[in-house]
Structure 1
């Protein structure tokens, strides 16, 4: 990934924040048939290993767990807030028409080694962690105990768990840091007014 110095994000805690805020990762693998990508929600355990560990699961019908045996190197891409930015939103445009459109975004590339877990205990733990986190905001969070045990057991048999020991984290945060403050803040105001609040807030902090 091309990263100009002013867009580089190296703080581990900030990279972990992006992963947690946007947990649907693109798991990129390379096998005998070439490149492939799967879109999978993952849970980050920041305390496991020097850079953290990702856990998730795939459908048993997905051949990923057969194509990529334990020990296979993989990449996971987590894309955070993003938005188109028009040069018309820059106050400086009115003085010098030397601005062009761009796209602001934040992204984390994770590299690591995958380990497959085709056992009920691990898979049950993954499902419990994912649902506990994503159901937390619901008035009555769903739990596996809400369903008949036989139904849950059958569903768990149809998925395979995995964990990815992270070996490196590379982050890029492009929030108009290379622009004048008035242009960056002017663009943030327009994005905020149009409902892109997350990236507008991040641009104001950049």
Structure 2
């Protein structure tokens, strides 16, 4: 991924937070037929053996990903935050110089690693329980796997395959107006907030503090 120095995010903990907040990944794998891309929610798991942790998830057994990927080839999981069009009319310096153009703000994490296929109902159930517990945490009455009838759950588990990616490296790109002067950053934050885009407004605000 092309990352200009001023857009580089070096902090592992910040990248892991984005993965937790936006867990739907685009998982890119290589097969004999070429590149494959699948959209899969992945759960970041702390791993004592690696500072980058691992990513756990599951796919339908009918998905050919688990049978046709090249096991000796690195895979790529792409995570992306909220994103927003930035109008040049938002910049405070526009009336002064007119030297402004549109752009697009976003933050993204690329997680690279080795993919392991897990066809084990015990592991899959634990993965489902852990993922559900995290994703349901914000609800007033969180749903759990045990809420469903046991025979129903067991039948569904036979129809999915577990996946684990041992992450070997992370790249983070935060393109959130860091290349703008402070007055433009402030006016962008204000415009984003007023246009109902608080997530991106927060990303820009956080970047101006660091």
Give the SS at the match of 2:52: coil
Give 2:205's aligned residue: 204
Give 1:116's aligned residue: 117
Report 1:1-206 matches (<5 A). 1-48=1-48, 49-68=50-69, 70-206=71-207
User: What is the Cα deviation at residue 67 of structure 1?
Assistant: 1.0
Give the SS at the match of 1:126: helix
CA distance in 1: counterparts of 2:178 and 2:19, whole angstroms: 21
User: What is the Cα deviation at residue 204 of structure 1?
Assistant: 1.5
Kept in 1: contact 2:30–2:73 (CA 8 A): no
CA distance in 2: counterparts of 1:68 and 1:121, whole angstroms: 24
Gaps of 5+ in 1: none
CA distance 1:72–1:162, change in 2 (3 Å): farther
User: What is the Cα deviation at residue 71 of structure 1?
Assistant: 4.8
CA distance in 2: counterparts of 1:50 and 1:13, whole angstroms: 10
**Structure 1 range deviating more: 108-117 or 196-205:** 196-205
Q: Deviations over 1:18-43 (max 9, x none)?
A: 11110001100111111111111111
Count of residues paired in the alignment: 206
CA distance in 2: counterparts of 1:71 and 1:159, whole angstroms: 23
Kept in 2: contact 1:69–1:116 (CA 8 A): no
Q: Deviations over 1:91-146 (max 9, x none)?
A: 10001111100001000001000111001011101110111111112222111221
What's the TM-score once normalised by structure 1's chain length? 0.97
What's the TM-score once normalised by structure 2's chain length? 0.95
- After superposing on structure 2, the runs of 4+ consecutive aligned residues of structure 1 that deviate more than 6 Å are none
Provide the alpha-carbon RMSD of the alignment: 1.1
CA distance in 2: counterparts of 1:72 and 1:124, whole angstroms: 27
Q: Deviations over 1:42-79 (max 9, x none)?
A: 11013342311000000001011111265542000000
Give the SS at the match of 1:9: coil
CA distance in 2: counterparts of 1:61 and 1:79, whole angstroms: 27
CA distance in 2: counterparts of 1:99 and 1:131, whole angstroms: 45
